[in-house]
A = this chain, B = another copy of it.
Amino acid sequence: MSERLVVIGGGGAGIAAATIAKRVAPDMKVTLFTEFEDIAYSPCGIPFVHGREIEKFENLFLSTVERYVEDGLDMRMETTVTDLDLDKRTVSFKGQTEGFDKLVIATGFVWEKPSVPGANLDGLHYVKNIRQAMEFDKLLDDMKKAVVIGATPLGVEMAGNLGHRGLEVHFVDEGPWALHEVLDPDVAQPVHESLEKRGVTLHFGTTLNEFLGDGNGRVRAVSTSAGEIECDVVIVCLHKLPNNDLAAAAGVKVGSTGGIMVNERMETSVPGVWAAGDVIEVPHGLTLIPIRGLTGSHAYAQGRTAGANAAGEHRAYDPVWVPWGLVGGDYTIGGFSLGETLATAVGVPYVVAKGVGVSRARYFPGATRTNVKLLAEPGTLKLIGAQIHGGEGVKERCDFLAFTAKRGATLHDIAWMENIYSPPIGALFEPMAIAAQNGLAELKKAGQL
């Protein structure tokens, strides 16, 4: 009998694990369980369909169940795994039990629910499943006022997109600025301005007290430390929590973040059991502190690692340097690893190098300002983080910096990097190099170089 691999979860990590395992070991029987009816769509696109920036939900589908079946995968759609026995090596679902030889857990995340009264009222919406989003989108046509709770990346995207759609949006967060856990205030500022231009009212530093019902079990307002805000709907965008119940109950070790602990091969504390995606924690490249809640591209790469290893290869997944980026309102921000806020919070010493450049020749139509802040280790001047805001090229520059920081690049390296100068696509001076040069000049002036 051929070896049996079971993958639990149909998101990016699960799909990647199943696909790569089948490719590496075509004789393996690969079964994938998902509780949903759909597979291989882009949940990250949902806010932009609500905001009418993407025409329709159908565009978000990237593949079909049939396609995976053709590739030889045993796809169990709308099938929730309810029990996992790691001694007997079985999964249970719909009253049945099936055996496996190897297992990949990719059960993803669940949204944190607000811990205030009224959190179970109707009208509190969570963004996740595309079918629910399609239904919800129809309801939005008749809604006028929305409250978005939580200035997380999803919160910023939902607030901006609902504003773009013409709703009156109230954006509520306890923190002093958007994404305050990771973002520096100077980088948050242009996002705030852009959200306000889209009709979003910001309520930062504002505590959530209660969701108020209309007497029929539906939310009618949100009570906050800044007063009561009437609304037709509440979008809850708090933290993503690891969906670890099944794994933890089966005896798989869970770490300090709540994520499943894995080694560099994505193998859990139980031999023959791998895990990947939003349900795991991985070490940060600089601090080696376990972190979780990364992006879809991380989930996919972890899934590939887990799947390949489950199929007999020996791949390693490196600690992460976490390039990130998003569009808040109409404004692009990004970074990698630490900003000043996070570096200060975790006690990592740093020197700062700041500069402003342009994305094309200054005089070329479409040129936008690119604001770069680099953080470096005092003494060695090795890069340890960055935050960038501006128009074009933020994503590419943050990918670049994360890659080079991982390999020990210093402010000197960036200050003297070669760069393309061609008026329609690049300015004489690369913005990252400007920042590094400024930083070195200041260190020199201060006698620290």
Contact = CB atoms under 8 A, between A and B. Distances in A.
Nearest to A317: B416
Interface in A279-330: 295-298, 300-301, 318, 320-327
Contact of A392 (B298, B300, B326, B392): B392
A78 to B, nearest CB: 24
Chain copies in the assembly? 2
A342 to B, nearest CB: 17
Interface string A375-402: 0000000000000000011111111101
Contacts of A256: none
Interface of A: 12, 42, 44-45, 48, 53-54, 59-60, 62, 295-298, 300-301, 318, 320-327, 332, 334, 361-365, 392-400, 402-404, 407, 409, 413, 416-426, 428-430
Instruction: Among A365, A407, A426, find the residue whose CB has the most chain B CB atoms closer than 10 A.
Output: A426
A425 B394 contact: yes
Given A393-B393, A407-B409, A399 B417 contact: yes
Given A297-B429, A397-B396, A399-B430, A60 B422 contact: no
Contact of A364 (B48, B396, B423, B426): B48
A61 to B, nearest CB: 9
Contact of A403 (B300, B326, B398, B400): B400
A321 to B, nearest CB: 6
A418 B395 contact: no
A362 B45 CA distance: 10
